[in-house]
Structure 1
């Protein structure tokens, strides 16, 4: 017998939290755990430009046959333009469409395992839990570098540089392109430049996870660190997602871009990316990718999408400032002021697991055990509720 040899897998803590929230009968419960954008009514809406593109696609699409192994070239080109804006010569870029940003990360790790099986993957502490989970599953070596100072709510840049001084030639350093998950604390451009210099000096390869472009300081500003790394480092891997900035979570739309040191290496890299797609899922999903391509290649749709994305970003910035102000008033301290300076959907409040559990049990407020909250899960009514509850649990 085979299946009776299987062992139970540990439950995904965030998915477990989602189920607990669903099972909670309290009408006043607040979900700050799941990482999706929500409007003031609690809905994750379909963006206007996406709706318009879907209507156009319905009218003109004539087939549902397979795309190429790498996805549609127009999609890959549009994503490379949005992310890199020509900062790297096109003849150095290899790319494939993937099932979401997670698919891009998985394919990047598969590529690393194929090309440099002895490489160690360096992860920020903390990082998105799926990063180490996939790396462990693939049997790859990994280690951590310091990133977040919980006492100040800021990046521990000195600790980060000190740890990264230990990278070996050929090691891969995974960096969050913007809107760090789970902390919301980001490097400055000057700090990014120092990281680029260090990686080049160590002959290490940067691997950028870009899941939230447009959610932090704006579409162009959020791409600036990735463009800096891409323009300064000879080899770069970039895994990008359209789930958040286009709001197409369930369409599973991502892209993996591999930058080769020279044009002559591109064809081999592209061939290996296509090979890995074939092994894992053959042809990538196309619906979301086609919508993104239509939006990015139509000036009217692009303008509408950018305007709505900016509305989303500004809403999160407003919620951040309101929460920081409410926490300052409720706690009579500046302990949580850092929330306003963070960017993206997430911040870590710096609460203990016991305090997080008290928030859930006594107040119906759900957040990840490390006190990561989804800022977009709040609204004008729930911000003061959260602030009062936090003030109570910290005493």
Structure 2
């Protein structure tokens, strides 16, 4: 049986990580892996997380299983963080998941159970694992135009034209904020137009929100997701705690399913619980418990929000520094989009050959589609990257 297995393509980002580690050059820059790093190149444990974990060690009396959907207090805390009071709580079913990836996977599984004929429309480009999971599950996937490689902004007209081909019951996958991999985001007026189209055609909205707090602020980054949740009859939301709480390895996420009628919530919850049981039974709890403690303790929450704001502002400073350095070296404003993008990523819009040239000549590692992790920079490496970009003729 095992002899029938075929080799699987290597994950491009993981392969890039391996190449970076093996590169003997001292002056090398990792802009590939999607993990926040501080100026010292370290992914820190946030202050509030450490404090909550210390308290958890002292207070926790059992490591027994939680329920199939996870701790209800975690769901309540995350729903409040993401949705605020935009949706009645009795319309929302939710399950804890192993990270945002687990939430995305369970959402796609739910789509397949509820409507085997549904197609999922995804932005071009999108986070590669979206497409990979959909392909593995056998769910038809349709790309819609999103990123204009000339302007490095959203191709909004193309997006609406492509979404107009969706049929009732199809799913539109949207990035709640800080689009991965491009960093280019819809403005609130454009979000409303997308919502109008979704409602007009009877589509299902799915929002992947993995970077809340990394763009314009906690509430500002949730604005679009809240607008979708309050305006569309049926919405799926996959939320991740990996980035904004820095609990990557704890695999902490939540899937929310919003029904048009609160009477449907119990059966939706039963199906979400069933999916958890089939995949991993009980979800991990340590990260969820830590996040819950932070969000429900005023002192911890204030410290967490303050540190998250420091991280956000630090990335904005790096964006502006890079845009300014590129303007100075190139004599052109064509890189001004870097300062306008939000989140950890920007896609600079060049060819895989140019990306490989940056790696070979300068030890600068980014994904082949030219996605770069802004958080992989510091004030000393920004000039190196800018010079390399200009020298490569990008």
Query: What TM-score bracket applies, with the shorter chain setting the length?
Result: over 0.9
Residue 83 of structure 1: aligned partner: 82
After superposition, give the CA deviation of every residue in 1:101-155 in whole Å (9 maximum; x if it has no partner).
Answer: 0000000000000000100000000000000000000011110111011100110
Q: What is the match of residue 138 of structure 2? A: 139
Runs of 4+ residues over 4 Å off in structure 1: none
Q: Does the alignment pair 1:293 with 2:292?
A: yes
Q: CA deviation at 1:352?
A: 1.2
Q: Distance in 2 between matches of 1:86 and 1:71?
A: 22
Partner Cα distance (1:16, 1:101) in 2: 22
Question: In 2, distance between residues paired with 1:388 and 1:91?
Answer: 54
Q: Does residue 1:9 correspond to 2:4, yes or no?
A: no
1:302-317 residue pairs with structure 2 within 5 A?
Answer: 302-317=301-316
Q: 1:250-284 CA deviation, whole Å, 9 max, x = no partner?
A: 00000000000101000000000000000000000
> How far apart, in 2, do the equivalents of 1:137 and 1:293 lie?
33
Tell me what 1:245 maps to. 244
Cα shift at 1:333: 1.1
Is the aligned partner of 1:200 residue 2:199?
yes
Q: Which moved more, 1:325-334 or 1:303-312?
A: 325-334
Task: Count how many residue pairs are aligned between Structure 1 and Structure 2.
Answer: 394
Supply the distance in 2 between the matched residues of 1:147 and 1:261 (Cα, whole angstroms). Answer: 28
Question: Mapping of 1:116-155 within 5 angstroms?
Answer: 116-155=115-154
RMSD after superposition: 0.6
Report the secondary structure of 1:394's partner residue: coil
Q: 2:57 aligns to what?
A: 58
How far residue 328 of structure 1 moved from its aligned partner, in angstroms, is 1.0
Aligned to 1:42: 41
* Equivalent residue, structure 1, for 2:383: 384
Distance 1:323 1:119 in 2: 42
TM-score (norm 1): 0.99
- Residue 92 of structure 1, CA deviation: 0.4
Question: In the TM superposition, what is the alpha-carbon distance from 1:334 to its structure 2 partner?
Answer: 1.2
Gaps of 5+ in 1: none
- Offset, 1:329: 1.1
Show the 5 A alignment for 1:192-271: 192-271=191-270
Query: How far apart in 2 are the matches of 1:218 and 1:328?
Result: 27
For residues 171 and 128 of structure 1, the distance between their equivalents in structure 2, rounded to whole angstroms, comes to: 19
Q: Which residue of 1 aligns with 2:367?
A: 368
1:340-383, Cα deviation, whole Å (9 max, x unpaired): 00000000111211111011011100000011000000000000
* 326-335 or 372-381, larger mean C-alpha shift: 326-335
* Correspondence for 2:334: 335
SS at match of 1:187: coil
In the alignment, structure 2 segments of 5+ residues that lack a partner are none
SS in 1 for 2:58: helix
The Cα of 1:86 is off from its aligned counterpart by: 1.5
Question: Shift of the alpha carbon at 1:18?
Answer: 0.3
Residues in 2 aligned to 1:266 and 1:238: alpha-carbon distance in whole angstroms? 15
| Distance (whole Å) between structure 1 residues aligned to residue 170 and residue 351 of structure 2 | 34
- Structure 2 distance, partners of 1:318, 1:223, is 22
TM-score after normalising by structure 2: 0.99
- The whole-number CA distance in structure 2 between the counterparts of 1:267 and 1:14 is 39
